[in-house]
Structure 1
Amino acid sequence: MFATALRYGAISGLVVVGVIVAGMLYADGPGGGHASSSMWFGYLVMILALSTIFLAIRDYRNKKLGGVIKFLPAFGLGLLVAAIAGVVYVAAWETFLAVSHYPFMENYTAAMIQNQRDAGVTGAELDAFIAQMEEMKVMYANPLFRLPMTFIEIFPVGLTIALISAAILRNPKVLPARA
């Protein structure tokens, strides 16, 4: 089961990071990016990449268990794939940040502040928001904050897909032998 989870989790995590990093690099080109639309794009990519959870459970059920799997083992496999995808995602993201020196949090906070300005927020309310974003930058610089936050971005999506996949793919009945 672990080999199946490792294969599908690694694929999922690498796909998510690859597409999101490519999207960020592209968005920084002419025209720039928009934080809210890139967030939705990121979660869409996660949903698509984490569909490997469904494939992993189906593959394991059909190839290793003869078409029979109960909900809890299916859910457990799905959680394992989601956890591995999350770890791969965190490791790849940290590697990307270390190698590229990409100013992610600076870009993110600048975009969020600009969104507030575009929405007409001014005065003390804008100052409080800017202070909050500055505090966020300081916290994000700490790996003890950044690593779990990065993991939390992807894992709940995987948890949801694991639940749905386990419910759909469960087959607790032993199939009759074919003659």
Structure 2
Amino acid sequence: MNKSALKFGFISGGIQAALMVAFAPVILTNESSLNSSQVVGYTSLAIALSLIFFGIRERKIITLKGEITFKEAFKTGASIALISALLYTIAWMIMSDLNPELNESIANMYKHSLKDKNLSPSELSIALEDIDRRMENYQNPFVKFGMTMLEIFPIGLFISLLASWILRTKKD
């Protein structure tokens, strides 16, 4: 793993962890709408993951003297995304274990979001049971780790693909 990937991965992960610590308790304990919490969450992820572009660019300019293949750029970007996602996931695991009420707030937001849908009583009952079952599964640390990684890592890979395509300067 190269220096740019390590540097920008840790910065990106640190930003995400800091934003999570700053915003999650406010959003979740107030049980604001699911949509607004998702907008804030994914916006902060996108801001932090934009560092993938700058990490690839730094590797291209400083280390590789202005030339980078798509493959090399993608490896750098994917490494940044992985480090960032791991830090984000570890921060969430710690924060949600220290504040178990956050998990309940998430479940309540999902349950409240069902009220906006025109569901029959039987459909509503099934949906509520599904949320309860998912939250029960979420108590397993391996499930929680995997689900949290899946929130962010695919977005990081997409940004890596896009940045690699934009920044590539020579054919593989």
Flag whether TM exceeds 0.5 (same fold).
yes
Q: Deviations over 1:14-71 (max 9, x none)?
A: 2112213322222256x64211221122111111111111010110111111111111
- The number of equivalent residue pairs is 171
For the Cα contact (< 8 Å) 1:14–1:92, is it kept in 2? no
Do the aligned partners of residues 121 and 21 (structure 1) sit closer, same or farther apart at CA in structure 2, a change above 3 Å counting?
farther
The code of the aligned residue for 1:64 comes to T
Contact residue 28 and residue 106 of structure 2 kept, 8 A? no
Moved over 4 A (4+): none
Cα distance in structure 1, aligned partners of 2:27 and 2:39: 14
- Whichever residue aligns with residue 62 of structure 2, its letter is K
Structure 2 partner of 1:27? 27
Match of 2:141 among 114, 135, 143: 143
CA contact (8 A) 2:81 2:157 kept: yes
CA distance in 2, matches of 1:124, 1:6: 50
Q: Which amino acid aligns with 1:15?
A: I
2:37 aligns with 38
Residue matched to 2:129? 131
Identity %: 31
The TM-score normalised by the length of structure 1 is 0.88
Give CA deviations for 1:87-135 in whole Å, capped at 9, x if unaligned: 111111112123x324222111111111212434341111111100110
SS in 1 for 2:155: helix
SS in 1 for 2:115: helix
TM-score (norm 2): 0.91
Counterpart position of 1:160: 158
Distance in 2 (alpha carbons) for counterparts of 1:28 and 1:109: 10
Gaps of 5+ in 1: 174-179
2:105 pairs with one of 90, 107, 115? 107
How far apart, CA to CA, are the structure 2 residues paired with 1:34 and 1:117?
Answer: 11
SS at match of 2:66: coil
Q: Which residue of 2 aligns with 1:50?
A: 49
Aligned equivalents of 2:40, 2:15: Cα separation in 1: 13
Q: 1:51 to 1:85 in 2, by over 3 A?
A: same
Contact kept in structure 1, 2:96 and 2:103, CA below 8 Å: no
What is residue 63 of structure 1 aligned with on the other side? 62
Larger CA Rg, structure 1 vs 2: 1
